[in-house]
Structure 1
Amino acid sequence: MTYARFNSLDGLLQRGRGLGAVQALKARQAAAPFVYDGIRRDWRWDGIDDRSLYLARLVRDLELSPTPVVELLAGDEEQCERAADVLELLALEGCDEAREAIRSHIRKGPHWVSVLEAVADRWPLEWWEDLGEVARARIRGEPEPPWFIEPWIRFGIQVQRPEPAPPPPDLTNLTDGELLDLLARSQPGAAAKDDALRELSRRDPVEQLIPLVPSLGTPDGRRPLPRLTRAVDRLGALAVPAARRWICDERPWLARLGADVLSDHLGPEVIPVLIAQLADQWRTRTWCGPKTTARRLARFGPDAADAVPYLRRLWLHTPHSYERAAYLEALAAIDTDGLQHAYTESLWDCEDQARLLGITHAPNCPETLTRIAALRDDPIEEPEVRAAARTRLSTLSPNHS
């Protein structure tokens, strides 16, 4: 997708930026089409990005009609899911039209199964328990029984139960040497080696694992065995000498593993490498991954000051909202200049981790304290965010709280 400019109203709303919500409140008529478009189209860069709470708040705070959102329930499954997520939150806020639209979709709509599962997880029991007869009648027309989650068990409907995964073998009685022997053999399959790596990653670092690492890739040679990275992480700085060799290996997975070890454990000499990596991620608009580089740079504090321009650009521009909080945390460790404004904006951000940073660090002023109080009292806000807002306000004088 092509995003609008990062500092335009539609671009800010597409990215879930707090400034977009603030500007929308000042230009309600202009913002309305962009809010509805954010529900109609999925502007998230990644499926883990949050938008539903952000968009539901905008519909509520801009006093927009929920009717265009209700109409999206008739769209394809993904569009219906986005609309339902917003309407379920609006219903919790007290919007009768939203609540009745969801219940009507459960009675007659095409994507009723996922919608009913969602409301059973989010709504009070008394809002959906009376739909049992509808569910029992409609489920007969579905090709397969639903999975083992609410509300199907409560309604007495046959469910699919996932086959329980066999428990991993108990290797606790094996010595470190025996586990290493298992890893060194060519015959045992990847699963057996993965079990050995799992056990090693629970123990004190075993330095003898290091020479075996290059042999512990998947059979196709394209990636490491699933538990290898964690086992190498357990080694810490012990793996640094070998990692200097790994980064020259022709196998990309091993070169990448070596680079990760060096990035995590070398001293200030790695700063230029990390800054160059961050600069390349910015240049290529690689939105997934810069947070890891940012966190590695953060451990060097002000010595990594040359990274600041890239961290600020990434925070401003990225459509991958899940990574935004990591850029603020890195900036807080390296250079706090201008962060008060960013923390204040984050109180309106779509991501709960960004809102938590705003609650903790935004300055004490009427605008921020009013917003924090609103988050504390908002019935659709995440419990962790509401609790943090209560804690922040409890430290202030009664006049502020």
Structure 2
Amino acid sequence: MGPSGGRLLEVLADGGSARHTRIRALRCLGGRPPEPGLVPLVPLLAEVNGELPLPGLVSAVLRLGPLAVPEARAWAADGRPWLSWIGVQVLAEHGTPRDLPLLPAELVAHEAARQWCGPALLAAGIARFGTAGAEAAPVLRRLWPRTPHSYERPALLKALASAAPAGLDFAYTESLWDCESDARLSGIALAPGLPHVHERLTELRDDPMEEAEVRAAAGERLVTSVR
């Protein structure tokens, strides 16, 4: 069973604990039910140089879910980038409408700094709020074709569909050729019924190298489109 939650928190609160001991404690907490006592310790759990969180901290904090939201608002405004980003992650996943304005602002900051790791998480957070997140539409539209990470495109497109669903025919059509299967599935479901779309759907349905889910979805779309 390992040490109790209380003992793990004692290790983390003890500034004299060895780095490897604190890391083990965090990893233990990351595999257990949420431990609210971790919340006040989070700002203290940086690496020796203070520029990065201890390994395992992010996983343990995200496991707290909504329990971390009140403190996450303060973390998100903190001047330490590592702590601010933990707060933003918590708010993206579990924040309330009052936290929504932070997410487009973070997206814009990521774009300006050319920080390409993170927009997918922010986009997923925006998508939770539906059209209330429409303020983020311009930056989402810019990032969707520009991100160098293909895995982020489905999240960016989903956020656009949720926050500002009008005018996405081109994006859905382009997604039929995307290398990410989630993007192709979005295109299959929502691309307009144009001749070249029909041709692409046929290709996807008949491609023996295509993923089974994509082939099935393309086949179903072709059937329903001729009914």
Give the TM-score range, shorter chain: 0.7 to 0.9
8 Å contact kept, 1:359–1:389? no
CA distance in 1, matches of 2:185, 2:224: 22
Query: Quick check: which has more Rg, 1 or 2?
Result: 1
CA distance in 1, matches of 2:112, 2:25: 41
Within the candidate set 199, 202, 214, 1:388 is matched to: 214
Letter in 1 for 2:175: S
- 1:284, distance to aligned residue in structure 2 (A): 4.6
Letter in 2 for 1:362: A
- Aligned residue in 1 for 2:22: 193
Higher helix proportion (structure 1 or 2): 2
- 1:278, distance to aligned residue in structure 2 (A): 2.3
> CA, structure 1 residues 311+244, in 2 after alignment: closer, same or farther (shift >3 Å)?
closer
8 Å contact kept, 2:205–2:218? no
- Aligned residue in 2 for 1:301: 130
- 1:330, distance to aligned residue in structure 2 (A): 0.4
8 Å contact kept, 2:173–2:192? yes
Deviation digits for residues 66-105 of structure 1 (CA, Å, limit 9, x no counterpart): xxxxxxxxxxxxxxxxxxxxxxxxxxxxxxxxxxxxxxxx
8 Å contact kept, 2:134–2:164? yes
8 Å contact kept, 1:340–1:363? yes
Deviation digits for residues 10-59 of structure 1 (CA, Å, limit 9, x no counterpart): xxxxxxxxxxxxxxxxxxxxxxxxxxxxxxxxxxxxxxxxxxxxxxxxxx
CA distance in 2, matches of 1:332, 1:398: 22
8 Å contact kept, 1:376–1:387? no
Q: CA RMSD in A?
A: 2.8
Deviation digits for residues 168-187 of structure 1 (CA, Å, limit 9, x no counterpart): xxxx2432212222323334
Within the candidate set 36, 50, 53, 1:207 is matched to: 36
* Equivalences for residues 2-401 of structure 1 within 5 A: 172-247=1-76, 249-379=78-208, 381=209, 383-384=210-211, 386-394=212-220, 396-397=222-223
Letter in 1 for 2:106: Q
Aligned length: 227
Return the structure number with greater relative CO, CA threshold 8 A, min gap 6: 1
> CA, structure 1 residues 174+244, in 2 after alignment: closer, same or farther (shift >3 Å)?
same
8 Å contact kept, 2:202–2:222? no
Q: Unaligned 5+ residue runs, structure 1?
A: 1-171
CA distance in 2, matches of 1:197, 1:185: 13
TM-score (ref. length: structure 1)? 0.50
Q: Unaligned 5+ residue runs, structure 2?
A: none
CA distance in 2, matches of 1:398, 1:254: 49
What secondary structure is seen at the aligned counterpart in 1 of 2:9? helix
> CA, structure 1 residues 255+310, in 2 after alignment: closer, same or farther (shift >3 Å)?
closer
Letter in 2 for 1:303: A
CA distance in 1, matches of 2:63, 2:164: 30
> CA, structure 1 residues 190+376, in 2 after alignment: closer, same or farther (shift >3 Å)?
farther
Deviation digits for residues 297-322 of structure 1 (CA, Å, limit 9, x no counterpart): 11111011111122112223444433
What secondary structure is seen at the aligned counterpart in 1 of 2:6? helix
What secondary structure is seen at the aligned counterpart in 1 of 2:101? helix
> CA, structure 1 residues 315+234, in 2 after alignment: closer, same or farther (shift >3 Å)?
same
8 Å contact kept, 1:224–1:253? yes
TM-score (ref. length: structure 2)? 0.83
- 1:389, distance to aligned residue in structure 2 (A): 1.7
Letter in 1 for 2:219: L
